[in-house]
Structure formats: structure tokens, C-alpha cells
Amino acid sequence: MFLRLEPRPQTSVLQVYLSPVLAIGLTLITGLIIFAALGKEPMTALYTYFVLPISDLEGWTELGVKATPLVLIGIGLSLGFRANVWNIGAEGQLTIGALAGGGIAIFNHQSESALLLPAMILAGILGGMAWAAIPAWLKTRFNANEILTSLMLSYVAVLLLSYLVHGPWRDPEGFNFPESRMFPDAGAMPILLDESRLHLGALFALLAVAGAWVVLSKAMIGFQLKVVGAAPAAARHVGFSQNRLVWFSLLAAGGLAGLAGVSEVAGPIGQLTPTISPGYGFTAIIVAFLGRLHPVGVLMAGLVMALTYLGGETAQIEIGLPKAVTGIFQGVLLFYLLACDVLTHYRIRLARSYAKSFEKTPAAGEPAAERSAAE
Amino acid sequence: MNGFDILAPAILTVITASTPLLFAATGELVTEKSGVLNLGLEGMMLVGAVIAFATASVTGSASLAIVAAAAAGAGMALLFAFLTLTLMANQVATGLALTIFGVGLSALIGADFVGYALKPLPQLDIPGLSQAPIIGPIVFGQDFLVYLSFAALIGVSWFLKRLRGGLILKAVGESHDSAHALGYSVIRIRYLATLFGGAMSGLAGAYLSLSYTPLWTEGMTAGRGWIALALVVFATWRPGRVLLGAYMFGGITILQLHAQGMGIEISSQFMAMLPYLATILVLVLISRDKTKIRLNAPACIGRMFRPAK
């Protein structure tokens, strides 16, 4: 049996929103199989992973803590992905943001100034933007592929962090642990809810959602991003500058990733350590796709992906599931999502032979599927 | 102490650092020549590495481990091919998904094997020749996978230049519509090219966990899959230059090992940045010339194929 795909005359809007739901459902079913394969009682494991972590208020605030960096970065990435600007180096931009903001805290560790935190946040944003400016410049000036350059710069950023916390920025009273000193109170993110770790960064994430929504629906640059993604030929024809979009989307994503980085170190972590992110920069790629590159979607997807982190931790403690299961869930979810997306542009029919699988195509012209083809 | 005493071990380390890159880049070259861009090398390599290590630990057979790693890499590539070729998912996004999935899957499989050490792959000793001065250990004292990496490169080069199959593969990558009109099965050929690329990535991983550092650590590929992707661009899709690029990068990698030995006072972190910075540099140097890239890149790379009748 061969699958035959019949183009839909029009992209199915319903399916665009149905895909993520379908993908999450399929991921949960796959989860049952994985849990059974690992020798755990599947339903108990599923409950421990996806329900137990958010069964009380503390769980929900922790979900917010984890979702904060994911939403911030996911929003930034979704802007670029719309215009086929593939920034996958958010992890590095997050790291440099944390370094820039953290550096200010470390050098002013006796400061009690109310300006310390704003200065750190600003430095974090600028740091992330500066790191993202490198692939933007290399892309627009030398045509170098931003996927590879931004990713390579992530490795460089993490090594730079490692150098600093092992060397010059190591806490002089820290018994030689590779960690910086703790940030002063004036350099800590205010907590939004008493007795929780939910911090100001969560508000920034919501602001980013609103900001992205305004940019996409009201601003010219947002319109250009959408047109370049949906109809590259039309965008060329009216003379939208591709370089301008590359710069805009990389700087926006870099700034937001930098903000996420400084929020993490000034929030839940409180100092610089060799690992400040469990791969938020990469998971945010899934967040952007799962959220359909739409700001509100990204917010919801950020919460879903935050749950995979939280569930992974809970399941590790409660039933001894390996931490790596989190990564599998995230990868599988993206696979299902991409697979389900085929239904937005095509109907699936079964064909009896390979040759038959090509037969009969209604003359509807090339469907919008072309759009998602990489350049 | 004469110069050769330093040189011979240096060349040996270059070879070990270059072999995984050579495997992965050769495989990706074939995949890309057919018009498919698989960004999931890193994930396929990791799964290949962990499967090779697990198989060797459990069965004690290195040959079985190598075969299993190639099969695992191909299995991952099959997933990619099904999504992008059959379901026509976006190749960039699917490649990223493959890497994220591979990182998780390899960590899960490898959880039980962290801390174990394997005996490194045996060197193929050719009596007499391996003991020859200087070139003896370099040319005749490597393990099986090093020879296989060269054989694969030569084979691919010959296949693409001289064989009918290679011409068809290139035709599919250059113009899938024309190839389809001529009666070639575009999708089937792309499936095969993608599977080959996956198997080679699996072997690259196997070399890392069986020979380079015969143990398993999470994320042990350390970006080599991405560097291999850059190498294919650097090589402007030509097998000979893939070899050149892989060995150049191998040289850069071992620079960090030898710099400290030579008394250069640089933090290990800065030395470890070199391969990544070098990747960016070569990408910039080669991509600067847009025409060159356009002339050499397979015209249909990354584009979906759906025959219209």
C-alpha cells in the first residue's frame, strides 16, 4: 500500500489548529508505550509525568518559571521562522545575555542600587542581540548560512561561560567550585507570588507575546515577515528587503533570548554556573512550531513544553524515570506535529501501487505547500 | 628526539579526529546530491555512537557493533525520509527534530552504559609493513573504520562520476521534474540517498564511541554533525574537497591537544572553540561567492517533490 497525497484546493485552517492537538495526543500514546518499555506501569507513569507536577499551586508557579524562557525565546524565533530565517543559536544568545547581565551583578556585588537590576536586564538584552548580530552580519554580508553560524556560536558561547566561571569570574570564597559569587539582592528578579519562584521574567514573557502580536498584525515589518514566508516571489516583486528582515528577526530573537538568559540567572539560579539552561534555546524551536508561529500559540506551546521539563523532573524523583525521557518526548512531539501538518495541505488517500500513488491530481495549481519548502 | 617522533603521533591523532567527520560528510554529500537536506546528522551520529557502544558492550563483537550503528543511523534517516519525502514535511524543521530526538534517544539508551570502558578497536596489523619506520603505523596501523572511511569516499567519488546510478542521483538532485519525466523514481532514489547518509552518520558515531574515545558520554559528538554539514558546503559538493576539509578540521581539533604540550598558555576552553570558529570562517570564505555556491549546490536541494501529471 502506498500513501497518496491529494492537494487540498485551499490550506485547511481547521487543520492548522488541529495539528498541535493531534500531535500532543499521539505523543501521549507514544509515552504510554515508552513507559511500558521502560518497565513502568504506563498509566501511573503518565499521571506522574503530566498531571502530578501541576496538581497544586506550587506546580503551576514552577510551570510558569520553566515556561518563561521558553516563551521569550519561542516568540523571537517564531518571527524569524515566518520569513525562513533559521536562527537555531538561541542557546548561545541566552548564554551571552546571562553573561552580560551576570557580569554587571558580579562587578557590583556590593551594590544596593535600584538601578542594578534594570542595568543587568538591559545588558542581557544587548548581549543577546550582539551575539545574534554576528550570524545576521555574516548572512547579509557574506551569504553564510545562519543555521550553521548561529549554532556554532552557541558552542562558543557555552565555552566562554565555562571559561569565565572556571577562571576570572569564579567566586573567590567558593571553595574552587566553578561558580560565580551569588548576585546581590538588588540584582535579583522580584518574585511575583509569595513563596514561589515565579519572577518578573514571566511578565516580560507576556509582554513579549503582546509585543509580537502588535508587530505581526499592525507593523509594516511584521507584514513583510509574513509575506516573505507565504509568498517569496511576491515579496521580491514589491522589493521587500530580505536583508532587513534577516537583521530584524535575528536581533529580535537575540534580544529576547538574552532577556531569557539574564532572567534565569537573576531569577531561579541567582549566580553564574557552567550550565544555565537545560537546552531552552533548542526546545524553543519546538515551542515556535507547536505554537504555529503565532504569539498566543507560542504562549500555550511554551506551557506545554515547560510541562515536559517539569514532568521529567517529577518522574525522575517519583518513579525513577531517566531524565532523557524529556528529550524523547520533545523530539517525538515535533515529529508528530510535522507529520500532522501534512493534513493542512493534503488529504491522504491509500493507493495500491507506487505508480498509482501519483495518479489523479486535481488541477488546483500548486498548493500552499510550496510555502513551507526550505529555500 | 627527532622531528618524526613528534610528527608521527600528531598525524595519527589527525586521522582519528578526521575520520568521523569524513564519514558523516561523505554520507551527507550523497544525500544532498539527491536534493535532500538532512540537518539531523548530529542526532543520527549520537544514536549510531550509543548503539555501537551498547552492542559492543553486550555482545563483545566490534563488527556487530559497526553493523548495528550503520543500521541505527539508517533507521533514523528512514524516519526523516518518511516525514520529508512521503509526508512532505519541511526538511529544515524535520532535521532539527531528528537531532533533538537523537540527543534524547541516545541519552536514554546510554544511561546504563555511562562509566563503562571498551577495549579500543584493534588496529589492523599487517606483519612487516606496520613496523616500517614512520609511514608504517600511519598507513598500515589504523583500525578497520579508518580504512572504511577512505573506501567509502573513493567509492562515492567513483559512483558519482562514473556510474550510471550516480548520474541518475545527480539528475534527481539537479532537476527532479526532468528526472521524473524521464521515468526515474525520484522519491525512491531520494529515500536510498538519505538512508545511505544515515548509515554513514551511524558509522561516524560508531568510530567516536568505539575508537576515538571508547566510552559513552551524553552528547559526545559535540557538534561534529553540524561541522560535517558545513564541510559539505565548504567542499562545494565535491568528494575530493570533503576529504581535504575533514582532514583540515581534524588538524584544527588536535591543535588543542598539542598546544598545551608545546607550552602555550591558553585556556582549554579557548582552544576548544577553535573548530567552531574555524567552521564559521570557512563557511564565510566559501559562501562569499554566491555564484560559486549557486553553480555547485544541487539545484533542488531542500525542495519538495510532488509530481504533477
Q: Are the Cβ atoms of B104 and A341 closer than 8 angstroms?
A: no
C-alpha A302 chain-centroid distance: 8
What is the average per-residue pLDDT within B74-95? Answer: 92
CA nearest to B97 within chain A: A331
Q: Which of A162-176, B118-132, B278-292 has the lowest mean pLDDT?
A: B118-132
Domains of chain B by residue range: 9-113+128-296
A364 neighbors A14 (Cβ within 8 angstroms): no
More confident residue, A259 or B2: A259
What is the average per-residue pLDDT within B236-242? Answer: 91
pLDDT for A262 equals 97
Flag whether pLDDT at B71 surpasses 70: yes
A161 neighbors A142 (Cβ within 8 angstroms): no
Question: Which chain A residues are closer than 8 Å to B230 by Cβ?
Answer: 145, 148, 152
Q: Are the Cβ atoms of B104 and A330 closer than 8 angstroms?
A: yes
Considering only CB atoms, B303 lies closest to which of A159, A332, A373, namely A373
A121 neighbors A295 (Cβ within 8 angstroms): no
What is the average per-residue pLDDT within A281-300? Answer: 92
DSSP letter for A171, please: -
What is the average per-residue pLDDT within B292-308? Answer: 80
What's the mean per-residue pLDDT of chain B?
Answer: 86
More confident residue, A310 or B129: A310
d(CA B297, CA B279): 18
Q: Which of A81-90, A232-241, B131-140 has the lowest mean pLDDT?
A: B131-140
Q: Are the Cβ atoms of B284 and A144 closer than 8 angstroms?
A: yes
Q: What is the interface pTM, i.e. ipTM, of the complex?
A: 0.87
d(CA A233, CA A180): 51
Question: Which chain B residues are closer than 8 Å to A346 by Cβ?
Answer: 88
d(CA B293, CA B282): 13
pLDDT digits (tens, 9 = 90+) for B163-185: 998 899 988 888 888 888 888 88
What's the mean per-residue pLDDT of chain A?
Answer: 87
pLDDT digits (tens, 9 = 90+) for A17-52: 888 889 999 999 998 998 898 888 888 888 998 999
**Residue A351: pLDDT band with limits 50, 70, 90:** low
What is the average per-residue pLDDT within B117-128? Answer: 68
Question: Which chain B residues are closer than 8 Å to A373 by Cβ?
Answer: 90-91, 302-304
A266 neighbors A122 (Cβ within 8 angstroms): no
Q: Which of residues 167-196 of A touch B (CB under 8 A)?
A: 167
Q: Are the Cβ atoms of B303 and A374 closer than 8 angstroms?
A: yes
pLDDT for A126 equals 97
**Residue A371: pLDDT band with limits 50, 70, 90:** very low
**Residue A228: pLDDT band with limits 50, 70, 90:** confident
Please indicate if any CB of chain B lies within 8 Å of the CB of A338. Answer: yes
What is the average per-residue pLDDT within A84-106? Answer: 95
DSSP codes, B81-130: HIIIIIS---HHHHHHHHHHHHHHHHHHHHGGGTT-B-PPPPB---TTGG
Flag whether pLDDT at B4 surpasses 70: no
Taking the alpha carbons of A286, A291, A292, A295 in that order, is the dihedral positive or negative?
negative
pLDDT for A112 equals 86
Considering only CB atoms, B104 lies closest to which of A147, A148, A326, namely A326
Q: Are the Cβ atoms of B104 and A339 closer than 8 angstroms?
A: no
Question: Which chain B residues are closer than 8 Å to A354 by Cβ?
Answer: 185, 188
Flag whether pLDDT at A102 surpasses 90: yes
pLDDT for B191 equals 95
What is the average per-residue pLDDT within B98-106? Answer: 92
B16 neighbors B22 (Cβ within 8 angstroms): no
Domains of chain A by residue range: 65-290
* CATH 1.10.3470.10 matches B9-113+128-296: yes
Q: Which three cell numbers stand for residue B155?
A: 567509492
B12 min Cα distance to partner chain A (Å):
26
Q: Are the Cβ atoms of A342 and B89 closer than 8 angstroms?
A: yes
